[in-house]
Structures are given as structure tokens and as C-alpha cells.
Structure 1
């Protein structure tokens, strides 16, 4: 197997092919689905798989050392709302478009300045 290196001799850290990581290791996304976060721990291993134009990589963390996700405080909710409002506000006409304005377009679809 091309990406199987459980000792880390070839890649520097233990490496496994996709879907063959041992129990007790999870990616950030898998941790988040369980309500956890890495919590400052170092990368325990990595997953690697072939993809067009190169190699895909995902880092793995130990589930037993993960910490609970920090709850959203009222201040964080306000900051999140302000950030989303900025993404919905058209820079040309200044109106709230009601949706996130694509950066490729640069303005809302109903903008009279377009």
C-alpha cells in the first residue's frame, strides 16, 4: 500500500490510506461532529490519498485528548451577525441583499449600478 506507514519512517508521522486509520483517531471535521475540538494537541497521524494533480492529506487527532467545543457567547453571536451582515451588504448600493454576495460578482443582482 502506497500510503501505509504506521511507524512514520517514510512520511515523518504515522500515515494511513483513506478509511484505514486506527480507532481513536479522527479528523477535525469528525471531532466537530462529536462536539469536540483538538484542544491544542499535536497532530497524531495523517491520512493520505491520491487525487488528480497530487496527493490529498488530512490530519488526525486523538479523540481521547480532544476537548469540548467552546460554547457561543452573546459576544461571539454579535460578532458573527456583524460579519454576516458585511458579507450581505452590497458595496455599490449599500443595501442588505438578503444573501451572501459572491466575491466573483462584487455586487448584488438587483444593484442599479451594475
Structure 2
């Protein structure tokens, strides 16, 4: 193991305060937020259990790890929430000048659809 990788190996958490593992060195049972999402889980308010550290382009990088057995299933949106999102997205596609719903989001810089912006 190189010195750089060994610097991040602290499974007891004496140096960094929480258990720290090197890149791809975390034991089973831990997952990042992205990995939890891929499994259909969420941290459910649990504290950070450990971290993974590695040397990156801009310096040392950190990814926080959560316990998989304490994670809970992701919550699903209600029908009313889904309707609200659909309504908001429809409003972003509707031109304020000609009131036509376009297949693209209206650019905020123009404030109207591309056809109305070219005419005016």
C-alpha cells in the first residue's frame, strides 16, 4: 500500500474522528448516498457512520458512508405532489406572450418562446 493511500486508512477513527477508509476499501454494510439511492433506500436521519478519503484533483476528497441496515426505503411522491410538479413544468413550457405550450422550456433570459422573441 502506498503512503498516500495508507494516510487515509483509519478504521478506528482516531485520526479523523470517524472511521476512515481509503478508496474502495470500505467494508460491506456501508454505502454512500448515491449507492443508497441506487438500492432504493435513504439514510433516514442516521448520522454519518464512516467516510472514504482519496487524493483528488483539487486536493483530498471525502465521501460519507451510512449503514445500510439502518437505511429505510425511499418515500414516494403522492398523487397531489406529482400533479403539482406536472403543473409547474407545464408552466415553464407555456409562453407568456402567445400562451402556447411549447415542447421545450421557455428561456428565462427571453421570457417568451423563440418564435415570439424573433418577431419582437
Task: Provide the TM-score with structure 1 as the length reference.
Answer: 0.77
Relative to structure 1, the CA distance from residue 110 to residue 18 in structure 2 (aligned partners, 3 Å threshold; closer, same or farther) is: same
Give matches, 1:57-96, under 5 Å: 57-85=62-90, 87-88=92-93, 96=101
RMSD across aligned C-alpha pairs, in angstroms?
2.7
In the alignment, does 2:24 pair up with 1:12? no
Larger Rg: 2
Provide structure 2 residue ranges, at least 5 long, that are not aligned to the other structure.
1-5
Task: Provide the TM-score with structure 2 as the length reference.
Answer: 0.73
* Partner secondary structure for residue 30 of structure 1: helix
In the alignment, does 2:40 pair up with 1:35? yes
Give the helix-richer structure, 1 or 2: 2
Contact 1:8–1:14 (Cα < 8 Å) also in 2:
yes
| Displacement of 1:84 | 3.2
In the alignment, does 2:113 pair up with 1:113? no
Contact 1:93–1:113 (Cα < 8 Å) also in 2:
no
Structure 1, residues 68-90: CA drift from partner, whole Å, max 9, x if none? 11122112212322443455556
Give matches, 1:41-56, under 5 Å: 41-56=46-61
**Which runs of at least 4 in structure 1 moved beyond 3 Å after TM superposition?**
82-97, 99-103, 106-109, 111-114
Q: Distance in 1 between matches of 2:64 and 2:89?
A: 29
